[in-house]
Amino acid sequence: MFLRLAKIIISIAMLVRGAEILACINCVSQDPLALSPQEQWKVYLGLSREDSFGFVDAKGLDVHQFGLETRNTTTIAVGHTFSPQAYMTVTRPYLVNKRGADQRSGWGDVMVTGRYVIIPEGVDDDWMPQIQGIVAVMDGRATSGYDYQDPAQLDVFGSGVPQWRVGVDAWHGMSDWKGGLAGNLSGPIESRRTEFGLVRNGLTFGLTATGGYGYGDRQKVLWGIIIEKTTSKVINDVSVANSASQGATVFLSGEAAIAHNAVIQLMLEKTLAIGFLKNFGRSDTVTGALVRSF
């Protein structure tokens, strides 16, 4: 009885605030793997640790919440090139959520991403960036904020609803100095029926700006910012007040080749603690990865 009561109270708070405590509901996760035309197969194995969790409410104020303290994630991605213009990747994470001595682990949502090169880089001029179109879907089958059992939501590993994403990615990497700009729109494929009614998450617009420098062909450093804005949730065709969200995350990453077909990566991510945040979860993340092509 107490567990069910706690679940109802937390769920109502989540719906009203328009944000999840532990897992991203309003957006499709990012694909960590990119392929070049000469790479037929490519594999990504990433290990990340996330901590310093927090939540900023609709007024931009930090809110104390009872949830996980750390999350360790193992991400596996496999990509295949079908032509010089097109490739597809499949990504799935395995998460371990911890709070004190308690922990829960499980698989996250599967994501399938397709990319098509609309304009190859430098096709007419050296300054011409590569333009890619992106389409992605995520299955939403992992345990989510809609069907968890643990009072601290340590068993939340996914979004709870299937989702789609479309976007455009511009990248210039032929010179030593590099840069790119990507925009995407994502949203739920279907609504989720709950004890509060039929819930539909809002649409999320994401914008990523990236800069960097390459040291020859074997090392590079990248930095950038990701900005996200999500429209209000809807319950039974009625928009939920103060449920829209917005946030910004900065990142710094380095990459070094250890063989002709293998590189190692290190990335640091931090949510900006500024007034721009609204109904947005905060955390710090460090990720190490090995990427190999075949």
DSSP state string for 91-147:
EEEEEEEEETTEEEEEE---EEEEEEEEE-TTSSSTTPPEEEEEEEEE---S--TTT
Q: What is the pLDDT of residue 63?
A: 81
Q: Is the dihedral of CA 269, 271, 273, 275 positive or negative?
A: positive
16: CATH: 2.40.160.40
Q: How confident is the model at residue 127 (pLDDT cuts 50, 70, 90)?
A: confident
**DSSP sequence for 131-187:** EEEEEEEE---S--TTT--STT-TT--S-SS-EEEEEEEEEE-SSSEEEEEEEEEEE
- Cα 115–chain centre separation: 17
Would the pTM count as exceeding 0.75? yes
pLDDT tens, residue by residue, 191-247: 999 888 999 999 999 999 999 999 877 899 999 999 999 999 999 999 999 999 999
Of 219, 208, 218, 221, nearest to 268 (Cα)? 221
CB burial readout 165-184, b (16+ within 10 A) else e: bebebbbbbeeeebbbebbb
pLDDT tens, residue by residue, 36-89: 888 999 999 999 999 998 888 888 888 877 788 999 999 999 999 999 999 999
Q: What is the DSSP letter of 261?
A: T
| Number of separate domains in the chain | 1
Beta bridge partners, 292, equal 43, 262
Domain with 62 in it: 2-293
